[in-house]
A and B are shown apart, each in its own frame.
Chain A
């Protein structure tokens, strides 16, 4: 155990400034976050609208949710930015190479959440994993978990639905990634890789260059630039999404969605997945809408299945994957994941 004074000593003065800034930022963050309701209430009072009117409700929803989601997102993305300086794709690959089915799939899914991943890197990553002897099924577990259980989705779920549903989503997402990967691995589908990829499998022993060693100063800087790029990219989606959500919230009649996406309508889960798979959106755009639907009587499992299929499977991704996978394997991959999502959707609707 080290006390604060001694643990601060080795830092330079610029580190001290960074830590002071970070402390200040955390204080401001907490101050804002704990007073969101107050600000929203005050703003509505200032507009002079009747509290019960549809417009006031929609406005209140908007003024309360936008800053809340943005604050949570910033905090989560900052922490992930720090984590990313420890977990590089190269390190993940080394950890996974030669791992057995089962334990390998579990590790792959877990690491898929923590490793920095962008869908445009899906192909190099996929091939690089296979080259280093990561089994096909384990590689798929990673590839399914990485986009589905991402930091943005988790931050938004936590902000709009609470920690229970965020955790449930994470557990379900990981389970789908693990089980789908195991199934794909057991089926022995290596022959469905494009020929040039098959040639590369297990072809390489060197691990390539690795992540530079970061100092704490650099880790904090990396995290800040991660926040800039992610929040800078998705804030508009959130504003628009919450805007649509606010409209639904204020103007769509209560229980309207119960007819379409309610628990009693069994086919709503597969229908939601069918609509969701080809759709391409990020969690930031889709979640605020999903939350509003939920408030109007849509069943949680149905809504969750819709969201998962939008985020985890998309047409652009499958077109990219076509460069390395034969069409049968893409179809199998999409089919297995979609089936997993449908099962999860039904399970949610049954249990909750």
Chain B
């Protein structure tokens, strides 16, 4: 069971990343919980500088950009 978090304060970019992640999870059939983190103090605890960020099992995979659907797919797999 993977734990996936999308960090972002709620701008369009973060929402887009969240929906892409959900799509990727569905497509790959991986068992995962997708969570959107909007609390700024919690976001800062991941030591990132720009949003949106993608965290998989508490490890920051990317931040400050929206990766392509394929990249997300391979990160999740």
**A128:B41 contact, CB within 8 angstroms:** no
A208 sits at the interface (CB 8 A) = yes
**A121:B51 contact, CB within 8 angstroms:** yes
Stretch from A88-96, A234-242, A276-284 forming part of the interface with B:
A88-96
Q: How far is the CB of B75 from chain A (nearest CB, A)?
A: 12
Nearest 9 Cβ contacts at the A-B interface:
A120-B11, A121-B50, A89-B49, A128-B49, A208-B47, A89-B50, A121-B51, A125-B49, A127-B44
A326 sits at the interface (CB 8 A) = no
Q: Which residue of B lies closest to A91 (CB)?
A: B49
SS class, residues of chain B in contact with chain A: loop
Residues of chain A within 8 A (CB-CB) of B65 are 116
Known: A196-B41, A323-B40. A124 touches B60 (CB 8 A): no
Bound together, the chains give a CA A189 to CA B59 distance in angstroms of 34
**B40:A120 contact, CB within 8 angstroms:** no
Residues of chain B within 8 A (CB-CB) of A26 are none
A123 sits at the interface (CB 8 A) = yes
Q: How far is the CB of B65 from chain A (nearest CB, A)?
A: 8
Q: Which of B10, B13, B51, B68 contacts A124 (CB 8 A)?
A: B51
**How many chain B residues have a CB neighbour from A under 8 Å?**
20
A204 sits at the interface (CB 8 A) = yes
**A123:B64 contact, CB within 8 angstroms:** no
**Interface residue ranges, B against A (CB under 8 Å):** 8-11, 13-14, 40-41, 43-44, 47-51, 60, 63-65, 68
**A121:B47 contact, CB within 8 angstroms:** no
**B50:A208 contact, CB within 8 angstroms:** no
**A128:B47 contact, CB within 8 angstroms:** yes
**A88:B64 contact, CB within 8 angstroms:** yes
**B48:A200 contact, CB within 8 angstroms:** no
Bound together, the chains give a CA A179 to CA B9 distance in angstroms of 30
**A208:B49 contact, CB within 8 angstroms:** yes
Q: How far is the CB of B55 from chain A (nearest CB, A)?
A: 11
Within 8 A of B (CB), among A72-119: 88-90, 93, 116-119
**A208:B9 contact, CB within 8 angstroms:** no
**A209:B60 contact, CB within 8 angstroms:** yes
Bound together, the chains give a CA A334 to CA B9 distance in angstroms of 23
Q: Which residue of B lies closest to A129 (CB)?
A: B49
**B47:A120 contact, CB within 8 angstroms:** no
Q: Which of B43, B47, B50 contacts A116 (CB 8 A)?
A: B50
Bound together, the chains give a CA A320 to CA B11 distance in angstroms of 12
Q: Which of B10, B11, B13, B44 contacts A128 (CB 8 A)?
A: B44
**B13:A118 contact, CB within 8 angstroms:** yes
Bound together, the chains give a CA A121 to CA B40 distance in angstroms of 11
Bound together, the chains give a CA A208 to CA B44 distance in angstroms of 11
